[in-house]
Amino acid sequence: MKISSKIYHNEGNTQVLKRVPKSAINILDIGCGQGDNARVLKEDGKIIDGITISESEFEFASNHTRNMYLHNLEEGLPEKVRLNHYDAVIASHVLEHICYPDQVLSDIASALKPAQGVLIVALPNIMHYKSRIELIKGNFNYNTSGIWDDTHFKWYTYISASRLLENSGFEVISRSVSGLLPFHSTLKRLPLGLYKLLNKCLLGFSPGLFGSQLIYVARPK
């Protein structure tokens, strides 16, 4: 198994974290990075297990998790993990890094607590308006981060990501997007209430166009 040396660090994905049920205690964070989500959840009294393919991330994330697994998710979940029944599984910006996600999604369904466990997924939206503009211009340039991260193997849209989960045995309970408005630097001068209303309206009108991050909450069928 080739172990990645690339490190992802952030302050936690707030859009994902706020969708974790308050009743969820035992949580699995796959592709957990340096443990940013785990740190926030641990401070809230949650018990976190994490999986990463990066040895460097493994060391950082171990400070915030109960159990850590150095594992390639192309092979599904580790056997020890599959035997657990988690209240929630987080897959925040990880499925796009997996060539064949069917096995890991099947294993996640088995590892969730029957009838109550939920899967929370966040993905970059390849059809975000900025990507569409670049594609129209004939550009598809890999970057070191973002939608066109050079470690992405898959690209998803608002519809295709839902279809992936449904075809993998999940019922999508909710789907939404997050992202900044076009001309954000100018529009943010508007009164906060007006800006939030405009943002909500545009994201609701065309989530596949204005949302840079796709967010799903799903439950095994």
Residue 75, pLDDT above cutoff 60:
yes
Q: Which residues contact 164 (CB under 8 A, 6 or more apart)?
A: 95, 101, 105, 156
Residue 48, pLDDT above cutoff 90:
yes
**pLDDT value for 78:** 95
CA–CA separation, 28 vs 88, rounded Å? 6
Residue 220, pLDDT above cutoff 90:
yes
| C-alpha dist (Å) from residue 187 to 12, 176, 183 | 26, 22, 6
Mean pLDDT across the chain: 89
Q: How confident is the model at residue 8 (pLDDT cuts 50, 70, 90)?
A: low
Among residues 71, 75, 76, 87, which one has the least CA distance to residue 32? 71
Residue range 113-158, pLDDT digits in tens: 998 999 999 999 999 988 899 889 988 888 877 788 888 999 999 9
Q: pTM, whole model, 2 decimals? A: 0.87
| List of domains in the chain | 14-181+208-220 (3.40.50.150)
Helix (H) or strand (E) holding 50: strand 47-52
Residue 29, pLDDT above cutoff 90:
yes
